[in-house]
Amino acid sequence: MILDRRTVLKSFVAGFASAGSLAGAGNAGVAPGPGPRFRIWDIHTHLDGAEGDTPEARMAVLVRHMDRLGIERVILSQGYDQYIKNPTPEQVREENDRVMRAVRHFPDRAYGSVYLSPTNVEFCLQEFDRCVRDGPMVSVGELETDVRCNSPALDPIVERAISLKVPILQHTWIRSNGSDPGESTPYDLVELARRHPQAQFICGHTGGTWELGIRAIRDVKNICAGIAGSDPTSGFVEMAVRELGAERVVYGSDAGGRSFASQMAKVVGAEIPDSAKELILGGNLRRLLQPSLEAKGLKS
Amino acid sequence: MIDTNVSLFRWPFRRLIGDDPEALVARLRRKGVTQAWAASFEGLFCRDVAGVNARLAEACHRHGRNFLVPFGCVNPKLPVWQEDVRRCHEVHKVPGIRLHPNYHGYKLDDPALARLLGMAAKRGLLVQIALSMEDPRTQFPLMQVPPVDPTPLADLLPRFPKLRLVLLNAGYWGGATTPHISRIRQAGNVWFDIAMNERVGGLARLIAETSPSRVVFGSHYPFFYFESALLKVRSAGLPRDQELAITEGNARSLLNGQS
């Protein structure tokens, strides 16, 4: 089912009322939900973790949960499998095809973002052109590769992204219990972003260990903090807003491996002004995607 | 709404909004909570557990009478831990205790735990076991504490049929893929909170694997944003009776010993 904006908002209001009911009878029950005043877009969603035999079925599951929380649109990437090591061109193409199938079935609820692996740069550029330049996708990433993103192998991809003014979502983690080989950190992304000041990056997970990730990217203005895919530890979004400014913080979930709920709570539960929540929950993402959407004649 | 998973005082590696008991109570009330089961972060790190429990009981009484329900700390690896159980029950009148085996350095097949569970069951004390507190990837590098492996519970639980056990922070880091977790889930005397339940559809899956009557609302506040647990319930699309059971009824029955 394709929902228009009016339907989304109606479900949102219903969800808001439901939160009141959760508060229990006779209680003040301030609903902590984002309310119908925010248009929520999610930069970081996968088909992985949602049940279903087809991309369309999995997307339908995601949409059902999006409706309950009032999420208007997700940016979908990587298809079924986030964790392919050294993916072959066939695997990359198959995952991007799955995303495009899901988006085609729910054009008002999702845009696609191209999955690439810079282990094969020539193929990467072909796939970029197939999915973004000549196809429906509006951004790059989540890039989650076997090559750390400070590698020069990323440069041609970034230059192609700059040429079409599409943002790049780059996976990053800082693990205190030992990093995976080839896994990027915010420090790696800073190197890449400094080489390409024209590009726009979203630092996926803000490194997970967000107190470090926020500090790492603070002085590099073409990097936004993506808040998806980590525990909803309180203080994350407050610190990001304090150090980066609300205009550099972007909501995402990392669903279906994560719940929309736990990740949206980082913004909804943060003690920041509503104006900041509005930017983080969707305003910033729409601004980043604006050139790409306009070029394709898509809605923002 | 009853929150079964709240902690008081300071977390040593991060200042948390709500780490002052008065502020915590005010915020939870505004969020619609009518009762919160509160343990102490101090219990994870302090050896003077008796002092921890005295401060917890005093704070609950002073800042949250009829709202904060103290859950005492017991470390069965400390000398005369039995006295901590006695004081929790007889002096502080707590309805239950919260255990942190990974922070206290024992596994669930340790004979000391079996003795503690037996004593708790005999006194009618609820037992909460926190399977984890934090994503191991983000822990302070000089203090790495792996999650608790719940596997031994599969054999342990049948020995204590009168025990009422709540597993907190189970799921994403607390043993969702652990061998025997399905046996643990099927045991009739174990409940699960939802603070670390993850994935799209995760709560509905947990209910399907256990029972609507054995899932309780727990937020892990103030370490986590409270809204995480609340939005999980809202987005699960549960029937109204299940929603009420999870957010209040199951916890109330547990506390009243009616489960």
pLDDT in tens, A196-218: 999 999 999 999 999 999 999 99
Q: Is the pLDDT of residue A1 over 50?
A: no
Q: Is the pLDDT of residue A97 over 50?
A: yes
> Rounded to the nearest 5 degrees, what angle is found at the Cα of B19, between the Cα atoms of B14 and B23?
145
- Asked if B231 and A261 come within 8 Å (Cβ–Cβ), the reply is yes
- Asked if A29 and B237 come within 8 Å (Cβ–Cβ), the reply is no
Instruction: For chain A, give the secondary structure using H, E and C.
Output: CCCCHHHHHHHHHHHHHHHHHHCCCCCCCCCCCCCCCCCEEEEEECCCCCCCCCHHHHHHHHHHHHHHHCEEEEEECCCCCCCCCCCCHHHHHHHHHHHHHHHHHCCCCEEEEECCCCCCHHHHHHHHHHHHHCCCCCEEEEECCCCCCCCHHHHHHHHHHHHHCCCEEEECCCCCCCCCCCCCCHHHHHHHHHHCCCCCEEEEHHHCCHHHHHHHHCCCCCEEEECCCCCCECCHHHHHHHHHCHHHEECCCCECCCCHHHHHHHHHCCCCCHHHHHHHHHHHHHHHHHHHHHHHCCCC
Q: In chain B, what's the furthest Cα-to-Cα distance?
A: 48
- Taking CA–CA distances from B242, the nearest residue in chain A reads A22
Interface test with B, best of A176, A234, A236, A238 (most B CBs within 10 A): A234
- Asked if A233 and B196 come within 8 Å (Cβ–Cβ), the reply is no
Q: Is the pLDDT of residue A21 over 50?
A: no
Q: Is the pLDDT of residue A9 over 60?
A: no
- Is B172 at the interface with chain A, CB within 8 A? yes
Q: Chain B contacts of A259, Cβ < 8 Å?
A: 197-200, 202, 231-232, 235
Q: Is the pLDDT of residue A63 over 70?
A: yes
Interface test with B, best of A11, A13, A21, A22 (most B CBs within 10 A): A22
Contact (Cβ atoms closer than 8 angstroms) between residue B205 and residue B235: no
| pLDDT average, residue stretch A6-32 | 38
Residue-level pLDDT at A82: 66
| pLDDT average, residue stretch A261-266 | 98
CA distances A149 to A185, A188, B115, Å, are 8, 6, 52
pLDDT tens for the 259 residues of chain B, in order: 999 999 999 999 999 999 999 999 999 999 999 999 999 999 999 999 999 999 999 999 999 999 999 999 999 999 999 999 999 999 999 999 999 999 999 999 999 999 999 999 999 999 999 999 999 999 999 999 999 988 899 899 999 999 999 999 987 555 555 666 777 877 789 999 999 999 999 999 889 888 999 999 999 999 999 999 999 999 999 999 999 999 999 999 999 986 6
Which range in A23-27, A120-124, A242-246 is most confidently predicted, on average pLDDT?
Answer: A242-246
- Asked if A260 and B16 come within 8 Å (Cβ–Cβ), the reply is no
- Asked if B14 and A233 come within 8 Å (Cβ–Cβ), the reply is yes
Q: Which of B133, B97, B101 has the alpha carbon at shortest distance from B224? A: B133
Q: Chain B contacts of A21, Cβ < 8 Å?
A: 240, 243
- Taking CA–CA distances from B196, the nearest residue in chain A reads A231
Report residue A262 as tokens. 């736990």
CA atoms in the 13 A half-sphere facing the CB of A200:
23
Gap between the Cα atoms of A198 and B30, Å rounded: 45
- Taking CA–CA distances from B235, the nearest residue in chain A reads A68
Q: Chain A contacts of B202, Cβ < 8 Å?
A: 259
| Coil/strand/helix, residue B238 | coil
- Is B196 at the interface with chain A, CB within 8 A? yes
Q: Chain B contacts of A211, Cβ < 8 Å?
A: 14
Q: Chain B contacts of A261, Cβ < 8 Å?
A: 228, 230-232, 234-235
Neighbours of B80 (CB within 10 A): 9
* Contact residues for A7 (Cβ-Cβ < 8 A; gap 6+): none
| pLDDT average, residue stretch A23-49 | 66
Gap between the Cα atoms of B139 and B169, Å rounded: 16
| Coil/strand/helix, residue B8 | strand
CA distances B47 to B53, B70, B77, Å, are 11, 19, 10
Contact (Cβ atoms closer than 8 angstroms) between residue B19 and residue B10: yes
Instruction: Please state the ipTM of this predicted complex.
Output: 0.96
Q: What are the phi and psi torsion angles at A98 (to 5°)?
A: -60, -45
Q: Which of A264, A208, A239 has the alpha carbon at shortest distance from A43? A: A264
- A91 pLDDT band (50/70/90 cuts)? very high
Q: Chain A contacts of B198, Cβ < 8 Å?
A: 257-259, 262
Contact (Cβ atoms closer than 8 angstroms) between residue B218 and residue B195: yes
Gap between the Cα atoms of A140 and A136, Å rounded: 12
| Coil/strand/helix, residue B99 | strand
The single-letter DSSP state of residue B146 is P
- Asked if B231 and A265 come within 8 Å (Cβ–Cβ), the reply is yes
Residue-level pLDDT at B247: 98
DSSP string over B148-185: P--TTHHHHGGG-TT--EEEES-STTTTTT-TTHHHHH
Interface test with A, best of B15, B137, B238 (most A CBs within 10 A): B137
CA distances B111 to A171, B83, B97, B107, B121, Å, are 44, 18, 18, 9, 15
Which range in A47-51, A115-119, B77-81, B154-158 is most confidently predicted, on average pLDDT?
Answer: B77-81
Contact (Cβ atoms closer than 8 angstroms) between residue B190 and residue B157: yes
Nearest CB among B29, B137, B227 relative to A175 is that of B137
- Asked if A230 and B234 come within 8 Å (Cβ–Cβ), the reply is no
Report residue A81 as tokens. 């499998």
Q: Chain B contacts of A17, Cβ < 8 Å?
A: none
Q: Which of A142, A137, A148, A153 has the alpha carbon at shortest distance from A83? A: A142
- Asked if A261 and B135 come within 8 Å (Cβ–Cβ), the reply is no
Residue-level pLDDT at A36: 65
Q: In chain A, what's the furthest Cα-to-Cα distance?
A: 64
Burial class (CB in 10 A: 0-12, 13-18, 19+), B136: middle
- Is B228 at the interface with chain A, CB within 8 A? yes
Q: Which of B101, B108, B109, B97 has the alpha carbon at shortest distance from B78? A: B101
Gap between the Cα atoms of B22 and A98, Å rounded: 51
- Asked if B138 and A18 come within 8 Å (Cβ–Cβ), the reply is no
Gap between the Cα atoms of A173 and A182, Å rounded: 11
